[in-house]
Chains A and B, each alone.
Chain A
Amino acid sequence: MKKRSLTRLTLALMVAMLALSCIQSPRSGKRTSSFGSTNSNGSLGFGQGRYLKDNPIIISGNEKLPGNTDMSTVMERQPIAVPSDDNLFLTKSCNKGTSTEVASCLQVKEDRNSEYLNSVDSRWGFEPNTEEFLQVNTFVHMSKAIDQFQTNLNTIYYSWALPGSSPGFRYYHTSIPYQLYSSNAHWFYDPTKVFAEDRTRPLNVYSRGFEGINAEFSPSSYHLAFGTYPETYGGQDTSNVKFAQDPTVMYHELGHGLSHILLNMRNTAASQTMSANLGYLGYDEAGIISEALADFFSYYVTKRTHMGEWALGRFAEASRPLTEDDPLHVAALSSTRDGRLSYPDWLLYDPNTVEPSEDIHNAGMVISHYVVALVQDLMSTCGKSEDNAIKDVLHILAETLGELGDLTAKGGDYRSEGYVNLNSNHALTWLKIANPITTPKFAQTFAKYLYTIFSSRTTIESDLATAVPYSIPTRCNGTEYPKDRIEQLLDDYGLLLFYTYNEDGNGATTGHSGVHTKVATENRKKSVLISKNNIDIVTKINNLPEGISKNQFSILDDRKEMIEIMANLQSSGTIYNLSEQIQSDLPYNNGNLKFSPGEVVGIALNLYNKSNSPMSGIQILANDWDHFKNRKPCNTFEDQFPIDGAGAADSSAEAAPSTTPGDCNYITRDNGDESAETLYPTCIALQTEDDATMWTNQEEYMDAHGIPKEKCLGRDYDDNSVGNPKECFLRVIPGKDNAVFAKINPGSNWTNTVKRSDGKSKLYYNHVLLFEVNSWTPPGSTFMCRFRVRFSNCSDCFYDSSKNYDNYLDYEYSGASPFKIIDVKINVTD
């Protein structure tokens, strides 16, 4: 009896253990309902999985798709090959098996903390509502987009741009670097590694990177991360709404990364330490371009002229069209010449609301619509397929970004340093503040390459040793794409904001001596360029209209709020290099809406547009510039401040312009680094001596009041000591030394331009300049800050009328000529 029991028990145990080994490991996430398609491993072949072919709204055709939709009802039933290199993890190489391979190119996980997802029996069958399925979906779509990009870049390099030979084999200077592939500049790279083969970094994509209705791209940690909705949003069930379910949003976010690669091709190839970025403030025109190109990358993959229907549009009413014919647009917009989404008229337009919106995503629609319209125009004018037209536009974008982001300042392998961004020592400063990527700059450079590659039949640059017989452009149906067509389409979008194509660049010695093909005046019908004399501070406006505040600026000095602002700007890397004297609890900030000693103060200038046309991309610069001679302020600029006898430098014996460094009429060629040239801070002090008032630099004011140098704000790098006498009392904080306003309507100020129906106009960090006020500042001190102001649709902010409206040379942005000088008096009270 006992023997039989033992035998039976043993047999039962054996059966139980064998059965146990067949049970699959459990997965996270919700279990499927029984109504949609299943995604079991049994239904998949080796290396296969399933995904969402598009976002759920497009797949289902249901614009009101609920937020708790079972993804199995919209999952693509036909299995696909999941392009994992090893069929174990969601990782892949790019350009596999070629000489341009990037061994570790893409890695997808749920978030940074999670383990890498592994397949089961080399199959990717996961329940469609799970995080695992989301990762597979993310991986498939990212792979598709990256492969398309790399394939097209390959064509651009090897078939069209052909870098590595001087013009003679091709017919234009390309900005694509010859070392694009040998230096791995075609993917993300770690600049801290010495050798090219060590530098490549995979793009890490986190399908559920965080909770929140946004997404992010981080160039310093090589990652994209997608957010997710909360359980409910706006009163609706959003329990199953995730950004990584919407490929258009994923392509948009990847678009930021691909733009970064194109912008930094030349920097990577040259082993530059620093990188260029598209956008440095919360709102600036480079940021607009960044969003426009990211939207374009959604179209680039899907060929659909709308993005974000599910992740942005369905619950947040924030999806975006890419053509005027989209039903989301207002009726006033159309694909006719008069109906285009033009700059700057539509800059504050949000198709999802009637309220004005100063936001880079909406503002970016002008350029995204333009590039899509260009694709369509290349199709109709040149008989191209949509695929080929899209590739052509990518080519032009690559050239444009490659030049504009070049921190070697050459813009092309065979160009001289200084062609763009001043020089390699100060290129980042030029890109960030002095001559940043604005709408007109982007449009001009884009047009230059479009013209050069698709239209031009003649010698375009005079730096060629011999006249070279150029190939006749054949990219448009065997012939050239008409120059008029380039200009007309740009003009339809209000983007014909330049006078020449500036083929000779902005170099100090070559910028006016080469070719700069003129834009045909008759093609500029919609694009309006207005003189910088039309902008001024409200206090200088006679007969200011009713309803416009007479205050020269809004002021911010509340202690609690300023601490929060400083914390946010500091943690985002926007401000840095604060003075040691400024204490973290801002004990002197008293919220009295005045400048007081010891405070950190923010101001937003109240500027007025005197013209009959809207002004856009208004930028106020408060950084150091070349406006002093022998420690005295020059009055040779249009503001003619200060008057002779009130402290102005003596420029009576100077030539105009002068070739003598140090003169008022001479502008530094090297951002103040050459001897006899020094940049001075924007703000100068008013000193009273013997009943005479004199405007003077802050150092002399410091001496006059017996303030020791070490009590000054800032740091003096001339002798490496605490306290910079030049900015002793009133110092602009680096990083918040420039401000941007999107638009000012004619006969109005910014506040009234962006005012919503509730009467509110929202001020943001990008509008504000930040100042440190020394606690040792004598109460009653007066300063004059000589701000330099410009705006994007300005006829004489970027173009020199004395040089036939050729572009200003880059070094001139250290001086006054490209700007309207607006003097703002600041009193420091007790």
Chain B
Amino acid sequence: MSIKKILTLTVITTTLAITAFIYHNKTAPTMKDETTSSDDSLWTTFEKSQTQNRPPTITSHPTTAEEFKKLKIDKNKDTDNSTNHLKQIRLPKIYKGRELLGFKGKKIDLDQFDQGFTNQPSKDWKKILAKNLMNFQTKDTLLFIKEDKKLIGLKRSRPIFLEQVTVTYLLPNGNRNSFRALVDSEHGVITEVWDKTQRDEFLERSGQVSSDIL
């Protein structure tokens, strides 16, 4: 190969390399949405299916990445709050790996405490909860349950195993309702609800009933 050809080749190659370098840096940076986090396993999707002449069934599976997108959940929530606060950390009281709720001012005899539980945790609590929550929903509704915390609460002065969850419904009309709840760890029954989605219906209110007006 002649020197001229080698030089030409070198120039072409160098130009291509420079151009590629410039173009690569023009590509927009993206802020990372963490697609995996230790929270993923806490999410479960429930769906209702019905075949003719058979009662409806509820099926479940771990929430998929595609479903997270559909639900439009931001999962990157671990924030670096390296601030210089005057720290006064209050540790929750933990027993059997669960935080105690509502025991302020109450003396606990641990022996009696262990004998006096209203319920015993069941591995099926979430399935039962989902069945209950899907009871009246149509088959196009998706239900998402995220486990938040394990607790021991008080019910009628007796300790009770509870789960704190965040419930999210993705309704057929596109609305997304969510709320937090306490759930009986054995029977999958909600005992308390708070932090419901507040929708500002500026025009027509929803929730009208058609009862015969008095």
Contacts and interface: CB of A to CB of B under 8 A. Distances in A.
Contacts of A60: none
Nearest to B154: A425
Contacts of A504: none
B88 to A, nearest CB: 5
Interface string A255-294: 0100000000000001101111101101100000010000
Most buried by A among B149, B189, B190, B207: B207
A465 interface: no
A204 interface: yes
A116 B214 contact: no
B79 A202 contact: yes
B102 A424 contact: yes
Given A318-B202, A717-B155, A765 B209 contact: yes
A112 B73 contact: yes
Interface string A208-239: 00110111111111000000000000000000
A115 B31 contact: yes
A282 B133 contact: no
Most buried by B among A14, A280, A576, A604: A576
Contacts of A762: 208
A218 B91 contact: no
B202 A361 contact: yes
**Which interface class (under 10, 10 to 19, 20 to 34, 35 or more) fits B?**
35 or more
A520 interface: no
B37 interface: no
Contacts of A21: 19, 22-23, 26
Nearest to B167: A573
Contacts of B12: 10, 13-14
A13 B91 CA distance: 67
A761 interface: yes
Contact of A253 (B86, B200, B212, B213): B200
Contact of B209 (A214, A283, A561): A561
Contacts of A276: 194
B154 A182 contact: no
A191 B206 CA distance: 31
Contact of B31 (A89, A192, A219, A765): A89
B64 interface: no
**Which interface class (under 10, 10 to 19, 20 to 34, 35 or more) fits A?**
35 or more
A20 interface: yes
Contacts of A425: 102, 104, 154
Contacts of B97: none
Contacts of B82: 103
Nearest to B103: A425
B78 to A, nearest CB: 8
B200 A99 contact: no
A99 B135 contact: no
Most buried by A among B182, B205, B210: B205
Interface of A: 6-7, 10, 13-14, 17-18, 20-21, 25, 88-89, 91, 99-104, 107, 111-113, 115-116, 118, 120, 179, 181-184, 190-192, 194-198, 200-202, 204, 210-211, 213-221, 252-253, 256, 270-271, 273-277, 279-280, 282-283, 290, 308, 312, 316, 318, 359, 361, 417, 424-425, 428, 538, 549, 551, 553-556, 558, 561, 563, 565-568, 570-574, 576-578, 584, 593, 602, 604, 606, 672-675, 715, 717-718, 720, 735, 749, 751, 760-768
24 contacts: A7-B8, A10-B12, A14-B15, A21-B19, A21-B22, A91-B31, A118-B30, A118-B31, A181-B85, A196-B89, A277-B196, A316-B202, A425-B154, A538-B214, A561-B209, A571-B141, A571-B171, A573-B179, A584-B135, A604-B211, A715-B187, A720-B186, A763-B213, A764-B205
